[in-house]
Structure 1
Amino acid sequence: MKFSILLAALLISLIFSVRFGSVEVDTADILSEVGTMISQGHMGNSSSAMILWQIRIPRTLFAMLCGIGLSLAGLLLQTITRNDLADPYVLGVSSGASTGAVMAIIWGWFSFAGSGSVATGAFIGAAVSTGIVIAASGKSHNPIRLVLVGMGVSAFFSALTMMVIYGARHEAQVRSAMFWLVGSLSGMQWSDISFTAAGVLIMMGLVFLVRNDLDLMLLGAGEAEYLGLNLKHFQLFIILLTSAIVALLVSKSGIIGFVGLITPHMARAAAGPSHGRLLIFSSLIGALVMIWSDVLSRTLFAPEELPIGVLTACAGAPVFIWIVTHRYGEGR
């Protein structure tokens, strides 16, 4: 029942998302243009058709994919660290990815990857920052320690990013690099969708394959190893997987924080602790959160656009504070 409600909400949200923006498109026009595309195989000649097919629909689809990817990344990090506060943004993964991306843009690093140099830089930065956090946290089971280490790593990579930007010689490079610091879904194209969709679908498939191992992690590291899980290899696999998806998303949209923190908690409340169900519910809820965050970013100050990273931080920071004060207060 809950799954059906979420799926229906997602389908409705996809329709309404392409309607709102600096220029509002009527639902009847949306249905008409979709019908034209299905029947004739190409979009119409109206201004509404161009807005829908060239701007709104690619952007909405990317928001959905971004929500799924960030939500699953947060779920994986919270599981392997056994920490309700874990999130790609909080733990510095996103900051590391942005540093690598900015280095690729301004310094020309990772040029061996060709057109994928930005994504490659983001992946390397994300993997390095995640590895530092895990290594610096050691075997401590104190969740606050992990968060504090993550904040320190995030601050370091954020400062490093600003140093790289400050040393840029061209204004265009600075504008492009500053994009990574606030997050935005503007300018998304169909070419961005296919690559991102492939990455997110692969991630979903891999999470489904290791769902039982993730359930074992809920028992604790010692118990999971006793039951046959190779903890070091499994943690390395999760680090590489989360780094890859965060890097892919950051290379396209910049830093978008707290989505991976909020949505797994909402999914657990709806689906329970089993990761087979959490995979589905986290994906649906993450997609809904990002789609409506994007709608608000386009409409709150229309025709100007609010960076979506600013909006998610405003919504996510209070949730982060609530979790700290209610779950990790004195004596808990």
Structure 2
Amino acid sequence: MHITIKIIFLCIILFLSLVSSLQFGSTYIPLNQVFNSLGYHIGLETLKIPHMTDTILWDIRLPRLLYSIITGIGLSLVGLLMQTVTRNPLADPYILGVSSGASTGAVFAIIGGGLSFLGTYNTPFFATLGAALSIIAVLLCVGKSSSPVKLVLIGMGMTGIFSSLTMMIIYGAKHEAQVRSAMFWLLGSFAGIQWSDLPLSTCIVTLFALFIYIYKQDLDLLLLGNQEATNMGLSVKTLQLSIVISSSIVIATLVSKVGIVGFIGLIIPHLARITGGPKHSHTLSFSILIGSIVMIWADVLSRFLYSPEEIPIGVLTSLLGAPLFIWIIMKRYQYNN
């Protein structure tokens, strides 16, 4: 199937997912009411549904849906670049320890109180601060080296350090409610997402996608290896540094809002390559589309399966992603001993 046809097909699936997913939650809303609410807010018709239903759709489900798409795109693209820069198919967005640093900061804010005057920005602020400290530490340890192996190993070390700090903070909690809140955050959740959360994250993820598009040819060269890329005139260290910093900003932004969402950044790049091939001009488009679709339905399942209770989104993405990842690996290496 031609690349363009595949992209059109996925765009249709994404559109249908966008509309139909708004129906599901603790309260089922018929599709005609979904269209009535959307039509009213974009000025096409008068409101023909109860005010409470409109509030659920427009103020709760729609911003949450859009943020799940942004998260799916961001994690998929960061995973794509991490696998490119490390030339490791097992690399994911959290390989550099950024998410562990963010988790430490967020858990400190939840259990330790942080800076109470920040209000709702307390947890995101400390999550971003923890992520920043993590990536600064990684960059200082890597130094001038361009070795992907050194980058991965130092990232793993930072992950261990910050993960241990997180567990120590949780162990020192005095109230069970604080522990439950911290653990739920660590497993990821889109609960509480509002319209005000969208502009910054959307802008950062959009700029990141633009960065990949601009440097798509240089990223293709990286797949050849550092020495070959250098021989062809590419400044490998500069590109690696740009990837690490920009990826860290994306992860810090997303993790500070929704916590850790596993497996999306690991499996989506593989699905994108299976669908569109290894070139970054193709994997960029397919990562965006597939990541959006998968994240939409993962979020729907998280709030629908045990309605009115909600399953942490990270639990579902791991449950769905792990078998899929095993299938991808088995298919890829089925002819190897």
Specify the TM-score bucket, using the shorter chain as the normaliser.
0.7 to 0.9
Question: How has the CA–CA distance of structure 1 residues 233 and 222 changed in structure 2, closer, same or farther, with 3 Å as cutoff?
Answer: same
Indicate which of 188, 194, 197 corresponds to 1:192.
197
CA offsets per residue over residues 104-151 of structure 1, 9 Å max, x none?
Answer: 55556699999462353243155257559968x98476xxx9878766
1:2 aligned to 2:14?
Answer: no
Task: Tell me what 2:266 maps to.
Answer: 261
Alignment counterpart, residue 15 of structure 2, candidates 8, 11, 35: 11
Which one of 22, 36, 39 corresponds to residue 32 of structure 1? 36
Residue from 135, 157, 160 that aligns with 1:127: 135
Distance in structure 1 (CA, Å) of the matches to 2:185 and 2:197: 16
3-state SS of 2:59 partner: helix
1:277 maps to a residue whose letter is H
What letter is aligned with 1:23? Answer: T
* Structural mapping, 1:192-211, within 5 Å: 192-211=197-216
Between the aligned partners of 2:263 and 2:140, the Cα distance in structure 1 is: 20
Structure 1 unmatched ranges of 5 or more: none
Pick closer, same or farther for the CA change 1:174–1:289 going to 2, 3 Å: same
Assess if the C-alpha contact under 8 Å between 1:103 and 1:121 holds in 2: no
- After superposition, the C-alpha distances for 1:178-221 in whole angstroms (9 at most, x for unaligned) are 33311111111001111211111111111112111101101111
Inter-CA distance 104–127: structure 2 relative to 1 (3 Å threshold):
farther
Distance 1:278 1:92, change over 3 A: same
Structure-2 separation of matches of 1:130 and 1:207: 22
Q: 1:106 to 1:131 in 2, by over 3 A?
A: farther
Contact persistence 2:105–2:130 (CA under 8 A): yes
- Paired with 1:42 and 1:162, the residues of 2 have a C-alpha distance of 52
CA 1:105 to 1:146, structure 2 compared with 1: closer, same or farther past 3 Å? same
Distance 1:322 1:32, change over 3 A: closer
Aligned pairs for 1:1-332 within 5 A: 1-39=5-43, 46-89=51-94, 92-107=97-112, 115=121, 117-128=125-136, 131=139, 139=147, 153-168=158-173, 173-321=178-326
Deviates more, 1:159-168 or 1:45-54: 159-168
- Aligned-partner Cα distance in 2 for 1:326–1:138: 32
The answer to whether the 8 Å contact 1:100/1:125 transfers is: no
* CA displacement, residues 51-90 of structure 1 (integer Å, 9 cap, x when unaligned): 1011110110000000000000000000000111100245
Identity of counterpart residues, as a percentage? 50
Q: In structure 2, do the counterparts of structure 1 residues 147 and 69 end up closer, same or farther at CA, with 3 Å as the change threshold? A: same
Quick one: which amino acid aligns to residue 3 of structure 1?
I
Amino acid in structure 2 at the alignment position of 1:6: L
Deviates further, 40-49 or 51-60: 40-49
Q: Compared with structure 1, are the counterparts of its residues 13 and 124 closer, same or farther at alpha carbon in structure 2 (3 Å cutoff)?
A: same
TM-score normalized by the length of structure 1: 0.86
Change (3 A) 1:31 1:130: farther
- Distance across 2 between alignment mates of 1:3 and 1:49: 32
Q: Give the Cα separation in 1 of the matches to 2:334 and 2:86.
A: 19
Q: Measure the CA separation in 1 of the matches of 2:230 and 2:116.
A: 41
Q: Which amino acid aligns with 2:132?
A: I
Moved more, 260-269 or 43-52: 43-52
How high is the TM-score relative to the length of structure 2? 0.85
| 2:267 maps to amino acid | I
Q: For 1:36, give the aligned amino acid.
A: Y
Count how many residue pairs are aligned between Structure 1 and Structure 2. Answer: 328
In 1, Cα distance between equivalents of 2:141 and 2:28 = 45
CA distance, structure 2, for counterparts of residue 328 and residue 275 of structure 1: 22
| CA-based RMSD | 3.3
SS of 2:53's partner is helix
Contact 2:102 2:128 in 1 (8 A): no
